[in-house]
Structure 1
Amino acid sequence: MPWLDRGRGGLALPTDAVPPYPAAKALAESSMRLPFHFSKPWVLDRAIDELEELMVAAWQTKESPWLAGELILELDEDCQTHLAGYEIEYSRAEGLKVTRPGARDVRLVEHVPSFDLVSRPWLPVQRTNGTTAELSLREVFAEAGSLRRLVGDVPTQEFALVRLLLAILHDAVDGPEEVEDWVELWTRDDSFSAVGPYLERHRGRFDLLHPEKPFFQVAGLRTSSGEVSSLNRIVADVPNSGPFFSMRMPGVDRLGFSEAARWLVHAHAFDTSGIKSGMEGDVRVKGGKVYPQGVGWAGNLGGVMVEGATLRETLLLNLVAAETAEVEFKDEDAPAWRREPSGPGADDPVSLASRPHGPRDFYTWQTRRLRLHHDDTGVYGVVLGYGDALAPRNRQKVEPMTGWRHSEAQDKKYRSEAPVYLPREHDPSRGVWRGLEALLQDLPGKGGTRSGGPAASLRPRVLNWLAWLEYEDVLPRGYLARVHVVGARYGTQQSVIDELVDDVMAMPVVLLHAGDQRYGRAAVSAVKDADGAVRAFGDLAGDVARALGSDPEKHRGAARDRGYGELDGPYRIWLRSLGGTTDPDRARGEWQREVHRIVWGLGRELLDSTTSAAWEGRVVDLGKGPEWFDDTSADRWFRIRLGKALPRAFDRDVPGLGAASAAEHDRGDTDGGTDA
């Protein structure tokens, strides 16, 4: 820099030789850390690549200890440059200043800082070529066809952000009303052309720092004590009870505006329950507190969204049309930014009683009252309280992105609303494929389909919509959709997040076909085949433990976990290929043979690893009096149970076993253990 003192300013730096010692030392003393703008992986990788291009080969020697291996940021005569898509300027008074090129500040009040989500990058994305970037709202919709997906800081954040984009898209196209309207969007190259002008019209409501109407916040929100909480309150990987992941140890002191915007959206969707600080002006406050009002709306859900090959396809596949009658669209349906800003407490009870009016309202429901506290460089604190509570009962006509289960207990409590359906939450211990039946079809209640009673569960309406598209031949039978399930499991009275659910399963849409249910039945039956085989393996482990004198249940549970783990990948591969066959029943037979091969191998491995104590056995009472039980007995029962679970595994020789092994299986002979 020209203003450096002691003769260091303006020294020449040769690029074909090692610089003189004074110049090299002056350059090394001018090093600095890159600011937070470059902390995200997709930005950091690009920055490093660009800086490595500036490395001077002549300086990478042992004669240049000050500069060898260092990354050099070269400024022009005005002390300016570009790096990883940012404009950089260095001044003696302000130091390093980083801005986004073309970013437009919305300064509705002069000299007030602004972070405009329409034009400022804040949404992390993965492109179809595998690279990552951070884009503005306008850029995400403009480039959706070349983007693979959004990349949230946690899986639930991606789900919340996709729902935000869906609310924008529903409102921008004002529908779609009919399937024909949707088909036009699906086939047009400029599907999202209405979004750009729409964002311009509502741009003022997308300003994160707006002094009067900040995005998803309440201007001037404060507690009676003026307390400003740590950002740990809204960052989901640092729950209040302690770090959830070690990457945030020990907590969050500051966030950049882009990351703060993402966690703001996530807080409305998945914030925990528990006692929260009361806000001035909220009539619910008692003793400075508001007692539990429940988790953010999406926290109630077993979230389900359909993913296509690109973000464009993903948004359109989840954009349910009103004509199907699967989801209610009232004329009053509108997102949060087209409503008057919320106050510090809940909205008018009369108004809330008739809402939500549709998906746009639901996807942007303000379950919390928030206000970010910031300075010129980022966010350092938050005020967080309860907003508009929402009971989860019977919302299946308005909330398409979750399955629903019938609750007899709620029927008794809310007789006038019976039958009562609640969101079906995901089980973190089960892969999505093991609950496939509830995704493919509505399940009958007591007495079956002819009883006339309420269904035991309803599949997500977004999958009904996908089935409709396949039935109407809008999507080909073999179209491969990725069903992405997302959810949060809360603990300690819903005051902390215990686990996050994140699983994806690719399946052909023909599985959802209402007229041709052969494929769906085969897929569900294949899961039951796997269940039976895994139970047989679990029982084998329990029987071996019994022969050893150990607790059967402990070993049975561990074996079942392993069995499902071994079948997880093969089932997903088999399911992907199911749509390409003309005979799903034959495909199921092939699946049974594959399951037998895998589980049979697990059983042989377990029996081969048993000790002499299992060979010798012991006397046990299995309910029919004392009998001798050893590993040979366990093996015999395993063969019987596995054969019953997979009756079609021997339609022809079992792959990998051969005729001799199959014959041994039929005789009940064992290749391990001792003679009884």
Structure 2
Amino acid sequence: MIGTERRALRFDLLREPWIPVVTLKGEPETVGLREALDRAHEFRWIQGETPTVTAALHRLLVTLTLRVYFDGSAGWGTQWSELWHRGPFPTERLDRYLNGEGDSTGYRDRFDLFGDRPFFQTPDIPEELLGSTAKLTMFRAAGNNATLFDHSTQEDQVELSPAEAARWLVTVQAFDTGGLKTGKLPSQPSLGNGAATVVIEGATLRETLLLNTTPNWADDTLDPRPGPGDQPVWERDPAVSQGSKEADKRGRAPSGLLDLLTWPSRHVRLRGRFGANGVVVDGVAILPGPRLSTDLRSVENMAAYRRTFTRKKNVPGKGVSSPWKPVQLEELRGVWRHCRELLLADEDNDSQRERFRPRNLDHVAARHQGKDALPESTVYTIRVLGQQLDPNRGAVHTWLEEAVPAPAAVLRAQPRETRLEPLMGLAVSLADDVGDELGKLEREYHALLRDAPRAERKLLQQWFWPRLSEHFNDYLVDLGERIRENDVGAFEPTENWANVVEETAEEAQHRWVELVPRRSARNLLALAECTSGYQERVRGIRHEFDRNLKSYDPRPRTEDE
């Protein structure tokens, strides 16, 4: 009976509304996959209920864009330019993909949430393993999940609409936490937790999808048409959860970009039924899926990485490098602090690289040169989305989303042609150093008085870091405009930024001083001692910044440097 009811259920992800978008007029709308692509030129962006939902839906639509509209009939650059300049996406290509052509029967039936081959799911999971849908929505308590966002529990009977369940299904595959899953099976966090997701925004959703559609890295010819081994998850044979534990534990390498973008981090099965008001989802099982056996940095196109070098005697080049670290979002310090890793190209020599910007930004930078080059004056917005897990990586601590401007002139800058890296490094280091001194001021004061728990000693940080984000965005835009004119023009924006940092820190300090109790001479003496030392250290930091800025040489490097 259960099987019969399941086959009768239907939720067509192509037609039914489940993807939340914002129109060009700023109005929210919910659409199906088909409408999201056919009307992508009419939408401004995708806006999910959390940053992780937004990121996961972007990756899904980028996959479809790459799979459907790039058919290998022309070179990658030529085909991309044609799609960019033509207006709406060609509907006939989506029709051919869904309905089939020649020997292909098409893939229309692969987008049903409850079909014989349910979308993004593993149909062989036994019915007895299905439990509360609270495990699917990561803001609810289930298993290892904390009740930070919601006070429901795993035993609560939670019913989801098919649209909500579909969004969280895609999100869980990309951003599920680690910890024990259905059947008490341990798992690693899904791949999206490995680094913040970087999405380049255009003026419309259509532009955004094209800007993030990069050549297939698994194909040496850079022809985006996937080979037989590189397929999105819905084109593959259904995964098998039973008996595949050892294979999942060993992991595998992705066969291409389509495979990676739809990586099945979990074996999932949804249970639907007919409710009083239509179809609802009332059960789910989530089991560990295949692990990625490849270093994520070598294949991920929407993430940035960094590392440092330690100079040692008798070691050529920059010295010994630390392991690569992904750029992640933080609660207080803005992601703009990683502007070099996010925006700037680095040396071609991999052994000497200090940063690795997202490959989708490499693709955009290349579109601003050669034939049909996009305007140099363009300023993109990159949305950086992600989440922080708790120390055990078994629950979501918080979701985060930030935006950073990306001037085309900055993206195109080459290490030997412009010396933006040390200049931007100087600007970020100034903020870091002053921010550290603010934290030190607060810690020293409370240490002298011994009257405040450590958790409360972050007021100055809260009044300093968030206020710098908008100012740094202005700095980046100004920097892009100036370097299009001449390299020396970068001095003035950087000096203005230094003044903003100093003024913001001073405002935070004054605000803090006003709130500090003055109940006794002991309070006043501690305050005077700490603020005096702080101000002297900040003056030294600014003096060193000014000295380094004056010695900054904007001229291109020679081959010997």
My pick for the range that moved more, 152-161 or 170-179, is 170-179
Deviation digits for residues 596-623 of structure 1, max 9, x if unmatched? 23323333444556565787789xxxxx
Is the 8 Å Cα contact of residues 122 and 239 (structure 2) preserved in structure 1?
Answer: yes
Aligned to 2:312: none
Aligned to 1:306: 200
Aligned to 2:471: 570
Is the 8 Å Cα contact of residues 406 and 454 (structure 1) preserved in structure 2?
Answer: no
Q: How far apart, CA to CA, are the structure 2 residues paired with 1:520 and 1:274?
A: 39
Q: Specify the SS of the correspondent of 1:646.
A: helix
Alignment: residue pair count: 505
Deviation digits for residues 390-419 of structure 1, max 9, x if unmatched? 24x4233422111235699xxxxxxxxx99
Aligned to 1:245: 149
Alignment of 1:223-238 (within 5 A): 226-238=128-140
Matched, 1:440 2:343: yes
Cα offset, 1:144, TM superposition:
0.8
Q: How far apart, CA to CA, are the structure 1 residues paired with 2:288 and 2:448?
A: 57
Among 108, 117, 136, the residue aligned to 2:13: 117
Larger radius of gyration: 1
Q: Specify the SS of the correspondent of 1:507.
A: strand
Aligned to 1:206: 111
Q: How far apart, CA to CA, are the structure 2 residues paired with 1:239 and 1:373?
A: 19
Is the 8 Å Cα contact of residues 614 and 631 (structure 1) preserved in structure 2?
Answer: no
Letter in 1 for 2:481: G
Matched, 1:584 2:490: yes
Deviation digits for residues 420-451 of structure 1, max 9, x if unmatched? 7565443344311122232134779xxxx99x
Q: How far apart, CA to CA, are the structure 1 residues paired with 2:215 and 2:108?
A: 26
TM-score under structure 2 length normalisation: 0.78
Q: How far apart, CA to CA, are the structure 2 residues paired with 1:347 and 1:398?
A: 24
Is the 8 Å Cα contact of residues 14 and 32 (structure 2) preserved in structure 1?
Answer: yes
Matched, 1:148 2:44: yes
Aligned to 1:404: 305
Is the 8 Å Cα contact of residues 121 and 267 (structure 2) preserved in structure 1?
Answer: yes
Aligned to 1:297: 191
Is the 8 Å Cα contact of residues 146 and 396 (structure 2) preserved in structure 1?
Answer: no
Change (3 A) 1:647 1:171: same
Is the 8 Å Cα contact of residues 365 and 408 (structure 2) preserved in structure 1?
Answer: yes
Aligned to 1:517: 418
Cα offset, 1:261, TM superposition:
1.2
Aligned to 2:238: 341
Change (3 A) 1:494 1:538: closer
Cα offset, 1:336, TM superposition:
1.2
Alignment of 1:77-156 (within 5 A): 112-156=8-52
Among 177, 183, 202, the residue aligned to 2:81: 183
Letter in 2 for 1:469: R
Q: Specify the SS of the correspondent of 1:561.
A: helix
Aligned to 1:602: 508
Change (3 A) 1:635 1:368: closer
Change (3 A) 1:552 1:237: closer
Alignment of 1:386-397 (within 5 A): 386-391=288-293, 393-397=294-298
Among 364, 373, 377, the residue aligned to 1:474: 373
Change (3 A) 1:252 1:362: farther
Aligned to 2:163: 258
Q: How far apart, CA to CA, are the structure 2 residues paired with 1:245 and 1:511?
A: 39
Aligned to 1:487: 386
Matched, 1:378 2:276: no
Aligned to 1:316: 210
Aligned to 1:430: 333
Q: Specify the SS of the correspondent of 2:538.
A: helix
Q: How far apart, CA to CA, are the structure 2 residues paired with 1:636 and 1:579?
A: 38
Q: Specify the SS of the correspondent of 1:580.
A: helix
Matched, 1:158 2:63: no
Q: Specify the SS of the correspondent of 2:286.
A: strand
My pick for the range that moved more, 590-599 or 229-238, is 590-599
Q: How far apart, CA to CA, are the structure 2 residues paired with 1:438 and 1:300?
A: 16
Is the 8 Å Cα contact of residues 272 and 295 (structure 1) preserved in structure 2?
Answer: yes
Letter in 2 for 1:439: L
TM-score under structure 1 length normalisation: 0.66
Q: How far apart, CA to CA, are the structure 2 residues paired with 1:294 and 1:542?
A: 36
Aligned to 1:269: 174
Change (3 A) 1:261 1:634: closer
Letter in 1 for 2:494: R
Change (3 A) 1:593 1:615: farther
Q: How far apart, CA to CA, are the structure 1 residues paired with 2:131 and 2:198?
A: 32
Q: Specify the SS of the correspondent of 2:238.
A: coil
- With CA pairs under 8 Å and 6+ residues apart, which has the higher RCO, 1 or 2? 2
Change (3 A) 1:156 1:192: farther
Change (3 A) 1:322 1:585: farther
Question: Unaligned regions of 5+ residues in structure 2, if any?
Answer: 100-105, 310-320, 548-561
My pick for the range that moved more, 165-174 or 637-646, is 637-646
Change (3 A) 1:419 1:533: closer
Cα offset, 1:508, TM superposition:
1.5
Aligned to 1:640: 536
Cα offset, 1:115, TM superposition:
1.4
Change (3 A) 1:607 1:400: same
Aligned to 2:397: 498
Matched, 1:560 2:465: no
Letter in 2 for 1:486: L
Deviation digits for residues 454-508 of structure 1, max 9, x if unmatched? 5454222222223323355733333222222222322364322222222222231
Cα offset, 1:365, TM superposition:
1.4
Cα offset, 1:142, TM superposition:
1.1
Aligned to 2:356: 458
Letter in 2 for 1:122: W
Q: Specify the SS of the correspondent of 1:602.
A: helix
Say what the alpha-carbon RMSD is for the aligned residues. Answer: 3.9
Cα offset, 1:322, TM superposition:
4.3
Letter in 2 for 1:482: T
Change (3 A) 1:420 1:180: farther
Letter in 2 for 1:178: W
Q: How far apart, CA to CA, are the structure 2 residues paired with 1:552 and 1:614?
A: 20
Q: Specify the SS of the correspondent of 2:340.
A: helix
Change (3 A) 1:192 1:307: farther
Is the 8 Å Cα contact of residues 511 and 520 (structure 1) preserved in structure 2?
Answer: no
Aligned to 2:318: none
Q: Percent same amino acid at aligned positions?
A: 26
Question: Unaligned regions of 5+ residues in structure 1, if any?
Answer: 1-107, 279-288, 409-417, 619-628, 652-676
Change (3 A) 1:396 1:602: closer
Aligned to 1:11: none
Is the 8 Å Cα contact of residues 110 and 118 (structure 2) preserved in structure 1?
Answer: yes
Letter in 1 for 2:237: E
Q: Specify the SS of the correspondent of 1:586.
A: helix
Change (3 A) 1:543 1:604: same
